[in-house]
Structure 1
Amino acid sequence: MRRLRNQATGLPVWWLELLMLAVLYYSYTGTRSVADASAGEAMRMGHDLVRFETFLHLDIELSLNRWLQSVPVLAVVCCYYYATLHFVVTPGLLVWTHRRHTRHYAQIRWTLVVTTLICLVGFFLFPTAPPRLLTGTSYTDTMSHFAGWGWWTGTASAAPNGLEGITNQYAALPSLHCAWSMWCGFLLVRFGRRPVTRILGVLYPAATFFVVMSTANHYLLDAVAGWMVLGVAAGSVALVFAWRRRVPTVPVGAVPVPVPPRESARPAGSAAPVAVANAGGSGPVPVVLAASTAAGRDPTAGSGAVEAAESPPSPESPPSPESPPSPESPESPAEPTAAQPAPPAEPASSARAAPAPDRQGPPATAPVPPVPAPAAPEHSLRSDRAIRPDGARAV
């Protein structure tokens, strides 16, 4: 399946943008063909709007149209405005948003597309003749009156000469000019960095409203309907994008990578795991598990210093083969035999002492932090008893 978005920018691919333009164009063409077949209904709809605005005292179109006709220079400027800016500013701002504000482009583009589609539905359901085409009224078709000053035709409003057939003459309700100009003004105010740009964002919709009223191309209610359509489209698109941001999505073609489970950190201090091993069957010996070994430390390094402080080594004395072990030294290791070689003697100056295999005591529940050993008195490091030549200890 081909990707619908550019992986670098996250924007739709170019052919998808062209497809949207083609859909909008042919939809507009379809509404034009339907409106041409219902010219009588479009005239009746136009007269109904004039009567309704007169009843509400909102019929300002005729006054603006007569005043503009009295100022020919301004009338020509308004004709150029109507024939050009509507088709230049809107796509220009769309491209500007695509290049400068990529993160907001999708929502802005869809707002314009939905607004246009709703207006096309209005053209199809409610074909309406503009004031300049109403029979029995005193409106002046300004675009036709000053057609000699520009490239537009005198029979199809802003359409260029020879392209009268591409326009829908009865697409007055709602006003697409007012909807698009308000969309452009919002972009200029929202993303403009300079005060001049923001001022133009306010003036452009207001100027468009004046031009479409004074040239008798739209009614006041057409403009209001166009602004309402833009508001509905913007709100709907904003809700959809807010919902999409809450729902996690996976890009097309992406393969999810399984994440290995993280090893739980072993608690330190009193919660460190401790196992009890039976050393030689003589009694339980506390053994600190992999929490210290995995970190590169000796699990008995902390307790060895304490044991060295608690049990100072006895002075070295050559073992006597004819003298039995003294009852006062129960922890003396057994004499090695020929079948059992004697283990290598550990230096007396070792920093730690290995735990005795037959030492009894409750299993440790946590490694004891190393504490500095108190200075032992001089007389505790050597024996207070002298050994007689016969092997017995002197009292």
Structure 2
Amino acid sequence: MNARTEPAEAEAEPAAPARPPLIREFLLVAGLFLVYKAGRRLATGHTGDAFRNARRVWHLERAAHLPHENAVQSALLHGDTVVHLANTYYATVHFPATLAFLVWLYLRRPAHYVWARRVLATVTTAALVLPFTFPLAPPRMLTGTGLLDTARVYGPSVYGPPSSDHLSNQFAAMPSLHFGWALMVAVGLIAATRSRWRALWLLHPLVTLLVIVGTANHYWLDAVVATVMLGLALAVIHPPRRTATTAGLGTSLPRPREPVLAGAGR
């Protein structure tokens, strides 16, 4: 009796991408954060230009009919608890959320991790150029706007007086890497996962935007410029092609059907 077999239609899924060496990646990511801090410090000493540029940005936003930053801050100031939470979010979420994002991608989506790290490094490096060419005082430092420095008034604050703050450059408001990194976290998680709820990750950059504007640490245009920079980086650095393996579904694929022999079980 002749045996009849069915062709195996399913092809083997490509092997999961190997994780980059841990020590090398630790040094690269640590270097990214250090460059972020050190690079902003190098662009100090342009106080006069920073305030002149701040006035230009403020008047440009009004000419463009963008919403007043005061409207967002007024909403936060309805209660001490709300504004304190906003200040805490600004002070504590930025770095840990980005680091947790990179660690999760490294462990669960190595291919997306390499892509995200390259995008973040590109955006951060490009963002460090602007304080040299366009120093910008944040809106909390401008007089005549009606805005409060909510962190100084309600706490917690990550900044000291500009003259004695040797850990950060407070005249590097544009672009807002708080917003740029938060948006990349959302984009990266949406690209690397398949949950029907993954669009909710966009709440992170949305909350970040309201916080940075409401606490008077950034202008709307700071977030706009960060978005443009991220968009350009994403246009050049493409994510890995989505497969079941890169999306973490390699173990859930249906197994190829076994050959069926004619007359089996009779």
Assess same fold via TM > 0.5: yes
Would you tell me which structure has more helix in proportion to its own residues? 2
Range 82-91 or range 134-143, more displaced: 134-143
The aligned residue for residue 190 of structure 2 is 189
Q: Is 2:247 aligned against 1:238? A: no
8 Å contact kept, 2:87–2:150? yes
8 Å contact kept, 1:122–1:173? yes
Q: Is 2:157 aligned against 1:155? A: no
Distance 1:153 1:25 in 2: 17
8 Å contact kept, 1:24–1:117? no
Distance 1:199 1:12 in 2: 31
Structure-2 change in CA distance of 1:27 and 1:207 (3 Å): closer
User: What residue ranges of structure 1 are gaps of 5+ in the alignment?
Assistant: 1-7, 158-162, 243-395
When normalised by structure 2's length, the TM-score is 0.76
The aligned residue for residue 169 of structure 1 is 170
The aligned residue for residue 43 of structure 2 is 34
Distance 2:72 2:18 in 1: 47
Structure-2 change in CA distance of 1:189 and 1:238 (3 Å): closer
8 Å contact kept, 2:186–2:202? yes
Q: In the alignment, residue 115 of structure 1 is paired with which amino acid?
A: V
The aligned residue for residue 109 of structure 2 is 101
Where does 1:193-342 land on structure 2 (aligned, <5 Å)? 193-196=194-197, 198-238=198-238
Shift of 1:10: 5.0
- Give aligned-pair identity as a percent: 33
Distance 2:229 2:35 in 1: 21
Once the two structures are superposed, residues 226-265 of structure 1 have per-residue CA deviations (whole angstroms, 9 ceiling, x without a partner) of: 01111111222229x89xxxxxxxxxxxxxxxxxxxxxxx
The aligned residue for residue 51 of structure 2 is 43
When normalised by structure 1's length, the TM-score is 0.52
Q: In the alignment, residue 101 of structure 1 is paired with which amino acid?
A: R
Q: Is 2:27 aligned against 1:18? A: yes
Shift of 1:22: 2.5
Q: Is 2:93 aligned against 1:85? A: yes
Distance 2:28 2:159 in 1: 32
Once the two structures are superposed, residues 196-239 of structure 1 have per-residue CA deviations (whole angstroms, 9 ceiling, x without a partner) of: 5x243121111111111111111111111001111111222229
Q: How many residues align?
A: 224
Structure-2 change in CA distance of 1:164 and 1:72 (3 Å): same
Structure-2 change in CA distance of 1:231 and 1:102 (3 Å): same
8 Å contact kept, 1:68–1:75? yes
Shift of 1:101: 0.4
User: What residue ranges of structure 2 are gaps of 5+ in the alignment?
Assistant: 1-16, 242-266
1:123 match: secondary structure: helix
Which of 1 and 2 has greater Rg?
Answer: 1
1:165 match: secondary structure: coil
Structure-2 change in CA distance of 1:60 and 1:78 (3 Å): same
Distance 1:58 1:134 in 2: 18
Distance 1:10 1:85 in 2: 26
Distance 1:76 1:109 in 2: 32
